[in-house]
Structure 1
Amino acid sequence: MSALKEQNFFDSKVLGHPSGLFVLFFTEMWERFSFYGMRVLLINFLTSAILSDKGPLFNGWGWDAEQAGALYGTYAMLLYITPIFGGILADKYLGYRWAVVIGAIIMTIGHASMALDAPIFMYIGLACLVIGTGFFKPNMTSILSEMYKNYPEKKDGAYTIFYMGVNAGAFFGMMLCGYLAEKIGWHWGFGLAGIFMLLGTLQFWFAKPIFGTIGDPPTAEQKAAAAKLGAESTDPNDKLNPFTLVDKILIGVMTLLGLGYAFNDPLSKAGDINLFNFKVGSLAGQDFVILVALILFLGVVISRLTRYTKVVRDRMIAVIIFAFFVIFFWMSFEQGASSLVIFARDNVDRTLEGTSLTIFNIINAGLTIIPLAIITYVVGKLTQQTFGKAPLSNVVQILCFVGIWGIAIWMLYREFTATSSEITVSWFSILNSFFIIAFASSVSKIWDSKLNPPAAVKYGLGLIIMAIGFGLLAFGSHGIQEGVKVSMIWLVLAYLFHTLGELFLSPVGLSYVSKLVPARMIAFMFGMWYLAIAIGNKLAAIIGGQIENITNNYSLSTFFLIFTVVPIVAGLLVMALNPVLKKLMHGVK
Structure 2
Amino acid sequence: MSQNTDSSFSAELEKQGIDGSLVLGHPSGLFVLFFTEMWERFSFYGMRVLLINFLTSAILVGSPFSGWGWDPVQAGALYGTYAMLLYITPIFGGILADKYLGYRMAVVIGAAIMTLGHLFMAFDSPLFLYLGLGALVVGTGFFKPNMTSILSEMYKSFPQKKDGAYTIFYMGVNAGAFFGMMLCGYLAEKVGWHWGFGLAGIFMFLGTLQFWYAKPIFGKIGDPPTAEQKAATKLQQSTSDNLDDKPNPFTTLDTILIVLMTTIGLAYAFNDPLSKIAGIDILSILQVGDFAGQDVAIMSALVLFLFVVISRLTRYTKVVRDRMIAVIIFAFFVIFFWMSFEQGASSLVIFARDNVDRSLSGSSLTIFNVVNTLLTVVPLILITYVVAKLTKATYGKAPLSNIVQFICFAAIWAIAGWMLYKEFTAESSEITVSWFSILNSFFIIAFANYVSKIWDSKFNPPAAVKYGLGLIIMAIGFGLLAFGAYGVQDGIKVSMIWLVLAYMFHTLGELCLSPVGLSYVSKLVPARMIAFMFGMWYLAIAIGNKLAAILGGQIENITNQYSLSTFFLIFTIVPIAAGLIVMALHPLIKRLMHGVK
Q: TM-score range by the shorter chain?
A: over 0.9
Name the residue aligned to 2:369. Answer: 361
Task: Report whether the alignment pairs 1:565 with 2:565.
Answer: no
What TM-score does the superposition give when structure 1 sets the normalisation length? 0.98
Q: 2: CA distance between counterparts of 1:587 and 1:500?
A: 28
Name the residue aligned to 1:535. Answer: 543
Name the residue aligned to 1:489. Answer: 497
Q: 2: CA distance between counterparts of 1:194 and 1:4?
A: 34
SS in 2 for 1:421: strand
**Structure 2 counterpart of 1:420, from 423, 428, 449:** 428
Contact 2:73 2:554 in 1 (8 A): yes
**Structure 2 counterpart of 1:13, from 19, 22, 26:** 22
Contact 2:484 2:498 in 1 (8 A): yes
Q: 1: CA distance between counterparts of 2:13 and 2:558?
A: 64
SS in 2 for 1:352: strand
**Structure 1 counterpart of 2:289, from 269, 281, 302:** 281
Contact 1:10 1:17 in 2 (8 A): no
Name the residue aligned to 1:47. Answer: 56
1:104-503 superposed matches below 5 A: 104-278=111-285, 279-503=287-511
Q: 1: CA distance between counterparts of 2:354 and 2:429?
A: 16
User: What's the CA shift string for 1:332-356, capped at 9, x where partnerless?
Assistant: 0000000000000000000000100
**Structure 1 counterpart of 2:37, from 28, 32, 35:** 28
1:54-133 superposed matches below 5 A: 56-133=63-140
Name the residue aligned to 1:553. Answer: 561
Task: Give 2:412's aligned amino acid.
Answer: I
Task: Report whether the alignment pairs 1:519 with 2:527.
Answer: yes
Q: 1: CA distance between counterparts of 2:183 and 2:527?
A: 43
Name the residue aligned to 2:7. Answer: none
- The unaligned stretches of length 5 or more in structure 2 are 1-10
User: How far is the alpha carbon of 1:238 from its aligned partner?
Assistant: 2.9
Q: Which moved more, 1:358-367 or 1:286-295?
A: 286-295
SS in 1 for 2:391: helix
User: How far is the alpha carbon of 1:388 from its aligned partner?
Assistant: 0.3
User: How far is the alpha carbon of 1:241 from its aligned partner?
Assistant: 2.5
Task: Give 2:129's aligned amino acid.
Answer: M
User: How far is the alpha carbon of 1:429 from its aligned partner?
Assistant: 0.0
Contact 1:237 1:520 in 2 (8 A): no
Alignment size in residue pairs: 586
Q: 1: CA distance between counterparts of 2:535 and 2:388?
A: 39
User: What's the CA shift string for 1:435-456, capped at 9, x where partnerless?
Assistant: 0000000000001000000000
User: How far is the alpha carbon of 1:230 from its aligned partner?
Assistant: 1.8
Q: 1: CA distance between counterparts of 2:298 and 2:530?
A: 25
Q: 2: CA distance between counterparts of 1:51 and 1:139?
A: 42
The two structures, once aligned, show a CA RMSD in angstroms of 1.1
Task: Give 1:140's aligned amino acid.
Answer: M
Q: 1: CA distance between counterparts of 2:420 and 2:15?
A: 45
Q: 2: CA distance between counterparts of 1:180 and 1:158?
A: 33
Contact 2:115 2:201 in 1 (8 A): yes
User: How far is the alpha carbon of 1:313 from its aligned partner?
Assistant: 1.1
Q: 2: CA distance between counterparts of 1:272 and 1:572?
A: 40
User: What's the CA shift string for 1:89-143, capped at 9, x where partnerless?
Assistant: 0000000000000000000000000001211001000000000000000000000
User: How far is the alpha carbon of 1:526 from its aligned partner?
Assistant: 1.5
Q: Give aligned-pair identity as a percent.
A: 80
Contact 1:29 1:169 in 2 (8 A): yes
Task: Report whether the alignment pairs 1:38 with 2:15.
Answer: no
User: How far is the alpha carbon of 1:240 from its aligned partner?
Assistant: 5.0
TM-aligned CA distance change 1:133 to 1:240, over 3 Å? closer
User: What's the CA shift string for 1:142-192, capped at 9, x where partnerless?
Assistant: 000000000000000000000000000000000000000000000100000
Provide runs of 4+ in structure 1 moved above 4 Å.
Answer: none
SS in 1 for 2:64: helix
Q: Which moved more, 1:223-232 or 1:312-321?
A: 223-232
What TM-score does the superposition give when structure 2 sets the normalisation length? 0.97
